[in-house]
Amino acid sequence: MTDDPGARPGDQIRVLIADDEALVRAGFRMLIDFAADLRVVGEARDGVQAVRQVRALRPDVVLMDIRMPVMHGLEATKVILDGDQAQPPRILIVTTFDEDEHVFEALRSGASGFVLKDTPPEQLLDAIRGRRRRGRAADPQHHPAPDHRVRSPAASRPAGRRAAFAAHRP
């Protein structure tokens, strides 16, 4: 694993992991804690816990699963971003679903971007780092362009693809 070459000593990216599966949270924690420039500051097993943890811990980045009990990740994303924080965290949706409805809904909810759960570990770490540095919603390095992963009638036309990327911007 490589660390962020642009990071200053002691300048760790604080990450909150929100996923209802304990094994997934543990795997993400092990991966993130292995990188010297990243640090897991908390975990949540549902959207309500994620909202509470964000308010209490003030992470830089939240890895947010879409489907969780009590409050799903999309709703938790909206609540977090509509909160009273001067600098809300960047929310990176981590999902098994690459279908249009899930991806676009996550981005409409205010998420900074998304990665699939089958993303290679280095790309997930890069996505976390990128969320803090650039704050961009769509980074093709972390997930393919919309016409490769996201299929919709609008995305198949050039104007639709531009609109899809425009929707990704915060």
CB-CB contact of 20 with 47 (8 Å): no
CATH topology of domain 13-168: Rossmann fold (3.40.50)
* pLDDT the model gives residue 100: 58
Q: What pLDDT score does 101 carry? A: 78
For residue range 47-98, list pLDDT tens digits in order.
999 999 999 999 999 999 988 999 989 899 999 998 777 889 999 998 886 6
At 88-142, the pLDDT tens digits run 999 999 888 666 577 788 788 789 988 888 889 999 999 999 854 544 334 433 4
Position 170 confidence tier, pLDDT thresholds 50, 70, 90: very low
What is 99-136 written as a DSSP string?
SHHHHHHHHHTT-SEEEETTS-HHHHHHHHHHHHHT--
